[in-house]
């Protein structure tokens, strides 16, 4: 009998620790599929964040390092600069990348550091139990915004792709989602392109994946995916925000 | 005879690092150590190495963490306030047991402090600095020659024990020029089978990590690390003694303070006071045994420091408080004169402590 579906080679057999209904499993899979498709498992080095994906080092079969909170782009820079022949990626959440690690993110992008960043935006700090994130929506109730995020008090959520795409540096900035089959397929393509760019030496690629956190949003998995569609995506529109190579090609035509 | 060149202390560190095989430097500007970065910025691109000015001290130490985990000889340098910022990364590097080389050309503190020489980061360097139980090998050069040779030694020791080794210098030695040679320390090489190199699909993945959520495992990791530290304490202590054979009064000083103290010891001898000097070269591991033995011989100790009295605690511990220890110090970028140290020796000799 022919095998029509199986676990990507680049994922280990470890049982994921994520909550029921959490899309991290899907996103891990998309990353592993991209690594498999490009045949770079033996060259890949992954950088795990602090946050829900802190134990990602157990889930990918490639060499892995656990970075300090927010510092994954700097750690990845150290690896990539010293081993340019390897394929280096980070996997980070919104608190990690857009709050404590914003400086590292912006400057890695500005340097067009030849790395791949998978940025999972679920609008909340998951691991610590559901605090307000830099991407929590206005009015969103969290443990530390119990009356809803009051933008007058704590400011507005940050749109990372829009902000980074104003920089000259980065090669490829795109936002995808994993709330339905169509979006998952598009996300897989974007993630693969983000790795392909690195293989081709094009530079900094960041894929923001709009995700969900049923546990800390206080929703069923289905309600959470619906909320992604009804509330998250309108604030964080999907699409390609910067693609330098494509823009150059279009110009050439 | 080895070729001698005239160099600034900071440049000597940079050149020695390159000779030790370091090809990766990540840093952030801060006075008074900027010559190290400037030297690296000039040299690294010409020898196929990396010089990268990071966006912050925090980023630079985490770049060091990445390159160290990738198995490279890598370094950063900074001065006191910058080292505080690197504290987080130092703790992660120590907790992940990867080797790295760090330079602190100290300036006066706390806070923004000043830019003049100081030794006030002794506690930070020898007792931790970042969170958690860990040690770094701390080397205290007292000359430009030692800036170079202890740098090469520092890289060797870091790789030998998978630890951070730190040069704890100060603005004076960083800025002064002396003739030196680079041939007195051999560069050693150690295998790094744990390094992130890519698996080539030929081995199980390597993981560089400091997270252990099971308390039993984290405890074991800490115990294992401290077993390693014991070996370092047994084998890697460095110090210099000067006129200690018949000394009644022992001056203890490191770095630039030791050079001042040496003059004072000579002056005291001229007055008939039998003074001697113990100069710790490794501040961690601290030369406990030589101090313990000295306590059997001398009447008292004088700790000469460019801080409010930090190493003095380690002297008291090493000597089990069997002899009085007095402090002779200046702070804030001031350096004690030989006369001030001599006066402290005289007072000790009068038993006026």
Distance CA A185, CA A188 (A): 5
| pLDDT (0 to 100) of residue B1 | 57
| pLDDT (0 to 100) of residue B128 | 80
B204: closest chain A residue by CA: A61
Q: Environment class of residue B293 by beta-carbon count within 10 Å: exposed (0-12), middle (13-18) or buried (19+)?
A: middle
Alpha helix stretches (DSSP H) within chain B: 9-19, 34-43, 57-69, 80-96, 122-127, 144-161, 171-175, 215-235, 255-270, 288-295, 311-318, 338-349
3-state secondary structure of B353: coil
pLDDT digits (tens, 9 = 90+) for A172-200: 999 999 999 999 999 999 999 999 999 99
| pLDDT (0 to 100) of residue A1 | 81
Q: Are B156 and B17 in contact (CB under 8 A)?
A: no
Q: Are A78 and B66 in contact (CB under 8 A)?
A: yes
Give A141's Cβ-side CA count (13 Å radius): 5
Q: How far is B18 from chain A (nearest CA, A)?
A: 15
> Distance of CA B311 to CAs B87, B247, B264, B327, Å?
20, 21, 19, 10
Distance CA A44, CA A32 (A): 10
Contact B198 A86 (CB under 8 A): yes
Q: Are B76 and B25 in contact (CB under 8 A)?
A: yes
Distance CA B269, CA B265 (A): 6
Chain A positions in Cβ-Cβ contact with residue B198 (cut-off 8 Å): 42-45, 62-63, 83, 86-87
Contact B59 A66 (CB under 8 A): no
Which of A42, A62, A79 faces B66 most closely, judged by CB atoms? A79
Q: How far is B251 from chain A (nearest CA, A)?
A: 42
- Interface check for A60 against chain B (CB to CB < 8 A): the answer is yes
Between chain A and chain B, the number of residue pairs with CB atoms below 8 A apart is 139
Q: Are A153 and A132 in contact (CB under 8 A)?
A: no
Judged by phi (left if over 0) then psi (alpha if -120 to 50, else beta), residue B253 lies in: beta
Query: Facing residues of B180 across strands?
Result: B5
> Distance of CA A160 to CAs A229, A237, B148, B288, B303, Å?
19, 11, 45, 54, 54
Distance CA B306, CA B258 (A): 10
A44: closest chain B residue by CA: B198
Nearest residue to B169 via CA among B100, B214, B102? B102
| pLDDT (0 to 100) of residue B62 | 98
Q: Which residues contact A253 (CB under 8 A, 6 or more apart)?
A: none
Which of B52, B58, B197 faces A83 most closely, judged by CB atoms? B197
| pLDDT (0 to 100) of residue B353 | 45
A45: closest chain B residue by CA: B198
Nearest residue to A172 via CA among A109, A120, A121, A111? A109
- Token pair of B95, please? 């907790």
Q: Which residues contact B8 (CB under 8 A, 6 or more apart)?
A: B35, B144, B174, B175, B176, B177
Is the domain spanning B5-235 CATH 3.40.50.460? The answer is no
Give residue ranges of B with CB < 8 Å to any A CB: 23-24, 26, 50, 52, 54-56, 58-60, 62-70, 72, 74, 88-89, 92, 96, 196-202, 205-211
Q: How far is B23 from chain A (nearest CA, A)?
A: 8
Task: Give the DSSP letter of residue A85.
Answer: T
Q: How far is A63 from chain B (nearest CA, A)?
A: 5
Distance CA A192, CA A67 (A): 23
Peptide bond into B285 cis (omega under 30): yes
Strand A124-125 to A131-132 pairing: antiparallel
The CATH number that domain B239-349 falls under is 3.40.50.920
Averaged over A212-225, what is the pLDDT?
97
Domain B5-235 shares a fold with domain B239-349: yes
Q: Are B132 and B97 in contact (CB under 8 A)?
A: no
B88: closest chain A residue by CA: A68
Chain A positions in Cβ-Cβ contact with residue B89 (cut-off 8 Å): 68, 71
| pLDDT (0 to 100) of residue B351 | 80
Q: Are B282 and B238 in contact (CB under 8 A)?
A: yes
Distance CA B67, CA A129 (A): 33
Mutation target for B interface from A10, A74, A167: give the one with most B CBs within 10 A.
Answer: A74
Chain B positions in Cβ-Cβ contact with residue A103 (cut-off 8 Å): 55-56, 58-59
Chain B positions in Cβ-Cβ contact with residue A106 (cut-off 8 Å): 55
Task: Give the DSSP letter of residue A112.
Answer: T
Contact A68 B208 (CB under 8 A): no
Residue A222 has pLDDT above 60, yes or no: yes
pLDDT in tens, chain B (353 residues): 578 999 999 999 999 999 999 999 999 999 999 999 999 999 999 999 999 999 999 999 999 999 999 999 999 999 999 999 999 999 999 999 999 999 999 999 999 999 999 999 999 999 988 999 999 999 999 999 999 999 999 999 999 999 999 999 999 999 999 999 998 789 999 999 999 999 999 999 999 999 999 999 999 999 999 999 999 999 999 999 999 999 999 999 999 999 999 999 999 999 999 999 999 999 999 999 999 999 999 999 999 999 999 999 999 999 999 999 999 999 999 999 999 999 999 999 998 54
Which of A43, A82, A104 faces B70 most closely, judged by CB atoms? A82
Contact B62 A74 (CB under 8 A): yes
| pLDDT (0 to 100) of residue B129 | 85
A59: closest chain B residue by CA: B205
Distance CA A12, CA B19 (A): 41
Q: Are B113 and B31 in contact (CB under 8 A)?
A: no
| pLDDT (0 to 100) of residue B124 | 98
B60: closest chain A residue by CA: A74
Nearest residue to B95 via CA among A98, A230, A173, A65? A65
Q: How far is B346 from chain A (nearest CA, A)?
A: 51
3-state secondary structure of A171: coil
Residue with tokens 């003049």: B116
pLDDT digits (tens, 9 = 90+) for A68-87: 999 999 999 999 999 999 99
| Among A residues 29-58, those touching chain B with beta carbons less than 8 Å apart | 41-45, 47, 54-55, 57-58
ipTM over 0.90: yes
Q: Are B336 and B260 in contact (CB under 8 A)?
A: yes
Contact B209 A43 (CB under 8 A): no
Contact B211 A77 (CB under 8 A): no
| Among A residues 79-108, those touching chain B with beta carbons less than 8 Å apart | 79-83, 86-87, 103-104, 106-107
Domain ranges of chain B: 5-235, 239-349
pLDDT digits (tens, 9 = 90+) for A118-154: 999 999 999 999 999 999 999 999 999 999 999 999 9
Mutation target for B interface from A32, A57, A63, A86: give the one with most B CBs within 10 A.
Answer: A63
Mean pLDDT across chain A: 97
> Distance of CA A181 to CAs A21, A51, A73, A177, A188, Å?
15, 26, 30, 10, 11
Which of B50, B65, B197 faces A63 most closely, judged by CB atoms? B197
CATH class of this structure's domain A24-252: alpha beta
């Amino acid at each position: 009998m022919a095998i029509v579906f199986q676990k990507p080679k680049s994922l280990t057999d470890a049982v994921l620790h994520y909550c029921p209904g959490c899309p991290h499993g899907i996103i891990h899979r998309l990353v592993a599929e991209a690594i498999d498709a490009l045949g770079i498992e033996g060259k890949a080095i992954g950088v795990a964040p602090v946050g829900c994906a802190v134990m990602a080092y157990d889930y990918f079969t490639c060499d892995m390092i656990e970075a300090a909170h927010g510092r994954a782009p700097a750690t990845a820079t150290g690896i990539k600069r010293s081993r340019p022949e390897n394929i280096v990626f980070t996997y980070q959440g919104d608190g990690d990348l857009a709050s404590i690690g914003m400086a590292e993110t912006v400057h890695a992008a500005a340097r067009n550091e030849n790395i791949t960043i998978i940025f999972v935006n679920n609008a909340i700090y998951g691991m610590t139990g559901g605090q307000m994130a830099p991407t929590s929506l206005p009015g969103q109730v969290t443990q530390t915004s119990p009356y809803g995020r009051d933008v007058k008090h704590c400011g507005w959520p940050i749109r990372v792709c829009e902000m980074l795409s104003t920089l000259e540096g980065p090669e490829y900035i795109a936002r995808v989602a994993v709330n339905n089959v169509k979006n998952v397929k598009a996300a897989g393509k974007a993630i693969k392109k983000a790795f392909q760019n690195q293989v081709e030496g094009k530079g900094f690629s960041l894929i923001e994946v709009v995700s969900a956190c049923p546990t800390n949003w206080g929703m069923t998995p289905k309600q959470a995916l619906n909320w992604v569609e009804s509330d998250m995506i309108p604030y964080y529109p999907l699409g390609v925000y910067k693609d330098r190579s494509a823009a150059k090609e279009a110009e050439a035509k | 005879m080895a070729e001698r060149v005239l160099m600034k202390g900071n440049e000597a560190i940079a050149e020695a690092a390159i000779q030790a095989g370091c090809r990766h430097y990540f840093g952030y500007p801060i006075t008074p150590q900027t010559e190290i970065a400037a030297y690296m910025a000039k040299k690294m691109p010409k020898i196929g190495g990396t010089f990268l000015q990071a966006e912050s001290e925090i980023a630079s130490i985490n770049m060091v963490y990445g390159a160290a985990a990738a198995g490279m000889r890598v370094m950063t340098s900074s001065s006191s306030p910058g080292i505080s910022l690197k504290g987080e990364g130092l703790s992660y590097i120590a907790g992940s047991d990867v080797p790295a080389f760090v330079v602190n050309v100290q300036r006066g503190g706390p806070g923004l402090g000043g830019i003049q020489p100081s030794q006030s980061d002794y506690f930070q360097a020898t007792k931790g600095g970042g969170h958690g139980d860990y040690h770094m090998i701390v080397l205290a050069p007292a000359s430009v020659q030692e800036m170079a040779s202890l740098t090469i030694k520092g890289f060797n020791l870091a790789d030998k024990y998978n630890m951070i080794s730190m040069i704890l210098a100060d603005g004076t030695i960083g800025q002064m020029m002396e003739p030196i040679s680079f041939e007195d320390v051999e560069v050693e090489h150690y295998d790094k089978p744990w390094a992130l190199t890519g698996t080539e699909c030929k081995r199980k993945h390597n993981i560089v990590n400091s997270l252990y959520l099971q308390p039993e495992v984290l405890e074991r990791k800490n115990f294992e690390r401290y077993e390693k530290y014991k070996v370092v304490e047994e084998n890697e202590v460095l110090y210099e003694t000067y006129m200690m054979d018949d000394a009644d009064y022992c001056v203890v000083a490191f770095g630039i303070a030791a050079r001042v103290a040496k003059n004072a010891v000579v002056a005291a001898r001229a007055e008939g006071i039998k003074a001697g000097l113990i100069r710790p070269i490794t501040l961690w591991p601290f030369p406990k045994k030589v101090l313990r033995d000295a306590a059997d011989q001398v009447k008292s100790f004088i700790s000469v420091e460019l801080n409010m009295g930090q190493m003095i605690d380690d002297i008291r511990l090493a000597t089990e408080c069997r002899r009085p220890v007095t402090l002779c110090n200046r702070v804030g970028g001031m350096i004690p004169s030989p006369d001030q140290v001599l006066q402290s020796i005289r007072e000790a000799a009068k038993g006026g402590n």
